Amino acid sequence: MIENFAKLNTEQQNPNTLDIDRIPTEEMLIKINAEDRKVAEVVYQQIPAIAKLIDQAYACVENGGRILYVGAGTSGRLGILDASECPPTYGVSDQLVQGVIAGGTPAIFKAQEGAEDSKELAVEDLKERNLSSADMVIGLAASGRTPYVIGALEYANQIGAQTGSVCCVEHSELAKVAHYPVEVVTGAEVVTGSTRMKAGTAQKMVLNMISTCVMIKMGKVYHNLMVDVQPSNEKLIVRATRMIQQILEVDSQTASDLFEASGRSVKRAIVMHALHCDCDAAQEKIEQAKGVLANII
């Protein structure tokens, strides 16, 4: 097992940083940045695979399913971060995109290293969430070998759910289990084995792509504006009002009045003004168009 682990791309020693413990701070930063700049390119190389995963994830959501990210350690925390930002940004239920981490809530704040070694624990966690064949489980593991994550995908496959994966090594065990594997091979880290660095950055970039593209397909974006944003604080209220003003080309007072009349919904405000209708009629139009503003105005 030790020999196999040592062969992983993420566990190799980086020849470019062998002296990083003996150089000034600015030189350390230059070396770190030089490695970070490689990440976007390896993500770019995986765009065809990422697109297939996204299209399937959207198909699941369109048919009433959910997206569940499953990971351990840094990978699990990144999944939780991406999932938790979908409701305020796009106005979706917190059940639609979920993050599942080995060790549960305590693992978000403090490492629960042993939890990642149990396939059975993953099955229990997915059963608690009533995983069904309508859902999609996306496994996240930099090493592509985490038992907890592999166990989650094996169980999802068993019950007929769709599965995807994001890892940072080639020919991974995880990819063999996933229907839609993505392998962003980031190579040796600045500090050997510290996969919170390049591997974590790559996974964050891919997760951004997954959730953003699914939400765009759901009609949560008009042009490039997040028109289903939840105005839960002053900054978001200002952003929502500015979107109305920008899209409709009206003055700030008119935009503010529309925002309030619509029940603080950017979409309803836009439709109300564009179609000269009341709030209820605007909501009906939005539902008929499955939330896609471009199909209404």
Using only the alpha carbons of the chain, give its radius of gyration: 22
Mean pLDDT of the region 128-151: 97
Give the pLDDT of residue 111: 81
Q: Would you call 248 exposed, middle or buried from its count of C-beta atoms within 10 A (0-12, 13-18, 19+)?
A: middle
User: Which pLDDT tens digit goes with each residue over 223-244?
Assistant: 999 999 888 899 999 999 999 9
Let me know: does 56 contact 136? Beta carbons within 8 Å.
yes
Q: Percent of the chain beyond pLDDT 90? A: 89
Mean pLDDT for the chain?
94
Whether residues 192 and 257 share a domain: the answer is no
- Does a structural domain hold residue 226? no
- Does a structural domain hold residue 229? no
User: Which pLDDT tens digit goes with each residue over 179-215?
Assistant: 999 999 999 999 999 999 999 999 999 999 999 999 9
Catalytic residue chosen out of the listed positions 11, 62, 85, 173: 85
Whether residues 128 and 164 share a domain: the answer is yes
Whether residues 130 and 174 share a domain: the answer is yes
Q: How far apart are CA 110 and CA 18, in angstroms?
A: 29
Whether residues 106 and 148 share a domain: the answer is yes
Whether residues 240 and 111 share a domain: the answer is no
- Does a structural domain hold residue 224? no
Whether residues 202 and 246 share a domain: the answer is no
Whether residues 58 and 194 share a domain: the answer is yes
Cβ neighbour number for residue 6 with a 10 Å cutoff: 10
Q: Which among 217, 248, 277 is the end of a domain? A: 217
Q: Which residues touch 221 (CB under 8 Å, ≥6 apart)?
A: 215, 227
Whether residues 129 and 260 share a domain: the answer is no
Whether residues 148 and 256 share a domain: the answer is no
Give the pLDDT of residue 297: 86
Whether residues 43 and 183 share a domain: the answer is yes
Mean pLDDT of the region 18-38: 96
Task: Write the CATH number for 108.
Answer: 3.40.50.10490
Whether residues 160 and 200 share a domain: the answer is yes
Whether residues 212 and 171 share a domain: the answer is yes
| Number of independent structural domains in the chain | 2
Q: Which residues touch 20 (CB under 8 Å, ≥6 apart)?
A: 28, 31, 190, 191
Cβ neighbour number for residue 154 with a 10 Å cutoff: 17
In which domain, by residue range, is 265 found? 234-295
CB-facing half-sphere around the CA of 159: CA atoms within 13 A = 17
Specify the DSSP class assigned to residue 118: -
Closest by alpha carbon to 140, among 171, 97, 183?
183
Task: Write the CATH number for 242.
Answer: 1.10.8.1080
Q: How far apart are CA 36 and CA 22, in angstroms?
A: 20
| Phi, psi angle pair for 219, to nearest 5° | 85, 15
Q: Which among 155, 184, 217 is the end of a domain? A: 217
Let me know: does 92 contact 215? Beta carbons within 8 Å.
yes
Q: How far apart are CA 187 and CA 202, in angstroms?
A: 11
Q: Give the model's confidence band at 5: pLDDT under 50 very low, under 70 low, under 90 confident, else very high.
A: low
- Catalytic residue status for 11: no
- Catalytic residue status for 183: no
Catalytic residue chosen out of the listed positions 35, 62, 116, 249: 116
Provide the b/e sequence for 181-212 (b: ≥16 CB within 10 Å): bbbbbbbbbbeebebbbbbbbbbbbbbebbbb
- Does a structural domain hold residue 223? no
Give the pLDDT of residue 170: 94
Give the pLDDT of residue 3: 52
Q: Which residues pair with 225 in a beta bridge?
A: 222
pLDDT greater than 60 at residue 283: yes
Q: Which among 186, 217, 248 is the end of a domain? A: 217
pLDDT greater than 80 at residue 113: no
